[in-house]
Amino acid sequence: MPRRINPKCLYCAHLPVAEARQLHGAEGDDCWDESLCHRRRTHYRKRRDNNAARRSQYRQEVAQRQAEAAPDEVSVPIPLKPVAYLYLYRQKRQDAPLHAIAVSVWQGDQRLLEVTPIHCAGLRNQQIQKYLMDVLKTLQPRYGITKFEPEIRLEPTECPIKTCPLKPSAIADVRE
């Protein structure tokens, strides 16, 4: 364990040498030792800077050791094919009517294409199926997509169509 700081020496370290010799020398309390005091005064004056430099160097060494010990990371690119996502806007229950349909094409985390969403109000099931087949026929020559990924169900309140009757702004426009 390190030796405690002598408060008398700490006070003396901030005095000029001549004043310290007079105060602690033969005319003073006689604690001045020519062989020790000069070195000790320097140590006390520069102690904070030396400790900060030592801590900084230690942190750098630890960070360097951790960087060397860390495993190497390798990212292997995967050739991703474009996929078509089918978004169905309907309530959670099974027999709920379909509110809207949207389709988007993604390759990895990049969106390549977004088909304009449509409302399904008034459309029969056969008409919706025909529309989806037409979308796939449009996507097939361009991206080679022959089927949709498993459908994604969203709430009708999240409908992306700006003029949707379920949006609060559309309701406010009707009232005015």
* 37-80 residue pLDDT tens: 888 888 888 989 999 999 999 999 999 988 888 787 888 888 88
In 10 A of CB 87, how many CB atoms? 19
Round the average pLDDT of the chain to a whole number and report it: 88
In whole angstroms, how far apart are CA 67 and each of 28, 53, 64, 131? Answer: 56, 21, 5, 56
Q: Cβ-count burial of 77 within 10 angstroms (0-12 exposed, 13-18 middle, 19+ buried)?
A: exposed
Q: What span, in angstroms and rounded, lies between the C-alpha atoms of 22 and 15?
A: 11
Q: Are 127 and 133 in contact (CB under 8 A)?
A: no
Amino acid symbol at 136: L
Q: What span, in angstroms and rounded, lies between the C-alpha atoms of 162 and 123?
A: 19
Strand order across the 152-154 sheet: 110-119, 98-107, 83-90, 152-154
Averaged pLDDT, 127-133: 95
Amino acid symbol at 130: K
pLDDT (0 to 100) of residue 176: 53
Residue 170 has pLDDT above 80, yes or no: no
- Single pTM value for the model: 0.55
